[in-house]
Structure 1
Amino acid sequence: MDALLKGEQAVLGAVLLDPAELDRLSWLMPADFYRPVHQALFAAMRTINARERPTREADGTVPMSWLTGTVAEAGRHVRGLSASYAHTLIAACPRPQNAPVYGRMVLEGSIHRTVTEHAIRLEHVARVDAEQQQVDGVLHHADVLADVLSDLASRWGTEPRPLAPPSTAAGLAQPTPMPVVPAQTEDEQFLLAVLVSQPSAMAEVYDWLRPGDFAEPGNGQVYRCLGALHHRGEPIDEVTALWEVQRRGLLADGTLSQEHLDRVFGGPGAGSAEWLGDRVIRSSVVRTAAGAATTIRGLAENEAMAPGRLIGQALHALGSLDEVRARWRTANNRLSPGAEKAGPPEPSAPAARVHAALARSSPRPATAKGVPSAAPLARSGTASPRRTSPSPHHRSVQ
């Protein structure tokens, strides 16, 4: 026995028995019903009630014209509807005064179906955009899904706010990552080769590109190492990059292989880091949207999930897309008029960074009779970049 079907029949039977119940169901829409015949009947009830305002007779019964008129109006939109089905609906309603409760059952089923449909649509668009290296379509459908969730929250009577899922969520399918296409891997390796070959290239992408934006985890780990060198003010080249990889144990634990590093460090190293970084973060936007859509779809297909929790956790899943989208917009708005008015950025000082790195690498002079020698020149006077407190987005790269 389908409880949702019984709920739809019960709410329609309650309204057939008492048209005044429609006033307590103003938040219920015809599209909330699953069966097309029920959609047509509820729409017909709303139309006739708005036009005629039928009421019960003195003996408590409703006029026969209310039933026949509803069936006739609905029959204009669906086929096979007969007056006998109206009596079936009346018999399916235990108590007409419980119409709002039956209506909430219908709305709950509608919320699960609606969220599932929009999540599937977002998944499909993400896969299409991944092939075309586009993000506009996936961002548009993500915004549509967010608006739908906010509207459903308002109708359900809850606040549309993100709700983190419990850490011990059982039975929840993990998002299946999108397959990595060869073009994405090539873009990432070309970018890493440029970052290693061109001393100033890292500054072009460091503020908005993150290791998690790389589709290939190994490439993301190499970028993390380069970001750590840049953050500490140390020079970036093949030798320092390889040393950082080895210090982090990425070769020993099998995260990276020498063959992988040879492909990265042996790349052409020619090109624009900004352009390649934009392609990498575009792919990250699409993959993040696809992952959020898969998560939301799994939530919506869980019939045991309460509507309020479903909406809150779906909004939380979209939060990861908001973060990467904000960074993508930062990457594409660097030359906006507002940025130009803010004044020129502080000039970079690669020589100072190299000097600080060399000072840290130099051994301290020997001490005499326990008296410590003077601190190296790079640590006296003006503070080196190493001592400057990094901003939050700088910390996240390491």
Structure 2
Amino acid sequence: MDPLLQGEQAVLGAVLLDPRQLGGLDWLEPRDFYRPGHQALFAALRKLRAEDHPALGTEGAVPVAWLTDTLTEAGQQVRGLTASYVHTLVAACPRPAHAPLYGRMVLEGSVHRTVAEHADRLLAVAREDAGQNEVHGTAAQADVLSGVLDDLAKRWGTHPRATAPRTPPLSAPGQPPATAQAEDEQFLLSLLVHQNGAIGEVFDWLRPQDFAHPGHGQLYRCLGALHHRGEPIDPVTTLWEVQRRGLLAEGTLTEEQLAPVLRDGAAGSAEWLGEQLLRSSLTRTAAGAAQQIAAHADDRRLAPGQLIGHALHALGPLDEVRARWRTATSPPAPPPAGIDQAARVQAALARSPVRPRTRASPVPDRATAAAPASLHARERTNPPHPHRSLL
């Protein structure tokens, strides 16, 4: 027994038995039905209602013309619809008054199916871009999926908000990085270790999770920690940081992986190599998000609102990588047009006029300054004798 098939048959049978039920199904669209024949029948019913079919105003038994006209209109879109199947739809409806509930069952199935279809498209585009070293198709398809999720949330009547699942969905295990990709990561790490100041070219937008190999990501984290603390980066300091973090002891990084990075010097552009690595990270993250969303869509226990929230949460890491990609590839902002450096200096001088220097008055000696004050005080208390000056 297929509950979705029975729900589609029940809602069509309800409208065939009671045409007035279409008034409560304006939010349901023909594309929400899974079977093409059901899509054609519901589109025909909506068209007859828009044309004000006489059956809409009748009370009691539905005229046969409502059934025959529906079948004729739907037959222009698909083949294979017969009068016996129309009677099958009528018999599949237990209560015509329950049409809105049957319609919500159809819409719920449409939400799961639509999310799964767009997740599969994102996965296919991401894998294609990964093989061609491109990201534009992946970014465009991710935007399409986000827009579809927002539209489905509005149709279902919920707010599109990212919510983390209680348990992560079961997805396909990640494939180990290709040999060429592992070599590219190792070359970049070697360049960052041996080329002074190279990490400053990628530190603002490259993250450990962008490395396909976990050990390489942890080694890059060590280099980032040294750079953040303002300490020099060379083979000795790198090995010391690796040992402090216990990467060799716990097996995250092996000596066979670490030795070429510390031993072999490399020359090149760290920024260019970092962009290649970030491009691979973007398509890889998109593929992982698509697999998670597809796994959520296959879980029929999730209500549409939960499915949309989990799908938006799965797209969160992809949005973060895309933001860093824009930072890495965006050109620096140009200076304001029409203002040269000389004019800028003159404007700064005009805003800060130089004050004329005043001549500093000599600072009197402390004893000299205090003498007149004490003399005047004594004169006020003991006035001079008129003949004292003659003595």
Structure 1 length normalisation: TM-score? 0.81
1:345 corresponding residue in structure 2? none
In structure 1, give the amino acid aligned to 2:133: Q
Whole-Å separation in 1 of the counterparts to 2:93 and 2:283: 47
Whole-Å separation in 1 of the counterparts to 2:252 and 2:21: 64
Whole-Å separation in 2 of the counterparts to 1:231 and 1:340: 35
1:104 corresponding residue in structure 2? 104
In structure 2, give the amino acid aligned to 1:94: P
Whole-Å separation in 2 of the counterparts to 1:273 and 1:336: 21
Whole-Å separation in 1 of the counterparts to 2:309 and 2:131: 31
The Cα of 1:13 is off from its aligned counterpart by 0.8
Structure exhibiting the larger radius of gyration computed from Cα positions: 2
Q: What whole-Å deviation, never above 9, does each CA across 1:186-218 have from its counterpart, x for those lacking one?
A: 221111111111111111110111101000111
Whole-Å separation in 2 of the counterparts to 1:58 and 1:21: 13
> Is the alpha carbon distance of 1:98 and 1:149 closer, same or farther for their aligned partners in structure 2, counting shifts above 3 Å?
same
Secondary structure of 1:235's partner?
coil
> Is the alpha carbon distance of 1:69 and 1:187 closer, same or farther for their aligned partners in structure 2, counting shifts above 3 Å?
same
2:165 corresponding residue in structure 1? 165
> Is the alpha carbon distance of 1:131 and 1:57 closer, same or farther for their aligned partners in structure 2, counting shifts above 3 Å?
closer
Whole-Å separation in 1 of the counterparts to 2:246 and 2:335: 43
User: Residue 253 in 1 paired to residue 250 in 2?
Assistant: yes
Q: Which moved more, 1:176-185 or 1:225-234?
A: 176-185
The Cα of 1:258 is off from its aligned counterpart by 1.6
The Cα of 1:157 is off from its aligned counterpart by 0.7
Whole-Å separation in 1 of the counterparts to 2:47 and 2:57: 20
1:147 corresponding residue in structure 2? 147
Q: What whole-Å deviation, never above 9, does each CA across 1:101-156 have from its counterpart, x for those lacking one?
A: 00000011111111111111111111111111111111111111111111111111
Whole-Å separation in 1 of the counterparts to 2:184 and 2:27: 50
The Cα of 1:305 is off from its aligned counterpart by 1.1
Whole-Å separation in 2 of the counterparts to 1:175 and 1:319: 19
2:156 corresponding residue in structure 1? 156
The Cα of 1:53 is off from its aligned counterpart by 3.8
In structure 1, give the amino acid aligned to 2:72: A
Whole-Å separation in 2 of the counterparts to 1:8 and 1:194: 61
Tell me if structure 2 keeps the 8 A contact 1:56–1:63.
no
Q: What whole-Å deviation, never above 9, does each CA across 1:255-302 have from its counterpart, x for those lacking one?
A: 112211122223341110000000111111111111111110100001
Whole-Å separation in 1 of the counterparts to 2:216 and 2:57: 76
User: Residue 227 in 1 paired to residue 224 in 2?
Assistant: yes
Tell me if structure 2 keeps the 8 A contact 1:176–1:294.
no
Whole-Å separation in 2 of the counterparts to 1:59 and 1:139: 54
Tell me if structure 2 keeps the 8 A contact 1:178–1:287.
no
In structure 2, give the amino acid aligned to 1:196: V
1:310 corresponding residue in structure 2? 307
Secondary structure of 1:221's partner?
helix
Tell me if structure 2 keeps the 8 A contact 1:19–1:54.
no
Q: Which moved more, 1:238-247 or 1:18-27?
A: 18-27
2:15 corresponding residue in structure 1? 15
The Cα of 1:339 is off from its aligned counterpart by 11
Whole-Å separation in 1 of the counterparts to 2:318 and 2:189: 24
Q: What whole-Å deviation, never above 9, does each CA across 1:45-82 have from its counterpart, x for those lacking one?
A: 11121123444565412222211111011111211211
2:296 corresponding residue in structure 1? 299
Secondary structure of 1:337's partner?
coil
Alignment of 1:162-241 (within 5 A): 162-166=162-166, 169=167, 172-241=169-238
> Is the alpha carbon distance of 1:261 and 1:193 closer, same or farther for their aligned partners in structure 2, counting shifts above 3 Å?
same
> Is the alpha carbon distance of 1:57 and 1:20 closer, same or farther for their aligned partners in structure 2, counting shifts above 3 Å?
closer
1:277 corresponding residue in structure 2? 274
Q: Which moved more, 1:332-341 or 1:3-12?
A: 332-341
The Cα of 1:338 is off from its aligned counterpart by 7.7
Secondary structure of 2:51's partner?
helix
In structure 2, give the amino acid aligned to 1:74: A
Tell me if structure 1 keeps the 8 A contact 2:191–2:198.
yes
Whole-Å separation in 1 of the counterparts to 2:132 and 2:175: 14
> Is the alpha carbon distance of 1:187 and 1:336 closer, same or farther for their aligned partners in structure 2, counting shifts above 3 Å?
farther
> Structure 1: which 4+ aligned runs deviate by more than 3 Å?
53-59, 336-341
1:358 corresponding residue in structure 2? none
Tell me if structure 2 keeps the 8 A contact 1:18–1:55.
no
Paired residues, number:
338
What's the Cα RMSD here? 1.8
Unmatched segments (≥5 aa) in structure 2: 339-391
Secondary structure of 2:174's partner?
coil
The Cα of 1:178 is off from its aligned counterpart by 4.0
The Cα of 1:336 is off from its aligned counterpart by 3.6
In structure 2, give the amino acid aligned to 1:7: G
Whole-Å separation in 2 of the counterparts to 1:340 and 1:281: 32
1:321 corresponding residue in structure 2? 318
Whole-Å separation in 2 of the counterparts to 1:201 and 1:185: 20
Structure 2 length normalisation: TM-score? 0.83
The Cα of 1:334 is off from its aligned counterpart by 4.6
1:3 corresponding residue in structure 2? 3
Tell me if structure 2 keeps the 8 A contact 1:178–1:290.
no
1:290 corresponding residue in structure 2? 287
Secondary structure of 1:52's partner?
coil
Whole-Å separation in 1 of the counterparts to 2:336 and 2:247: 38
User: Residue 115 in 1 paired to residue 115 in 2?
Assistant: yes
Whole-Å separation in 1 of the counterparts to 2:307 and 2:212: 28
Tell me if structure 2 keeps the 8 A contact 1:194–1:201.
yes
Tell me if structure 2 keeps the 8 A contact 1:198–1:269.
yes
Secondary structure of 2:315's partner?
helix
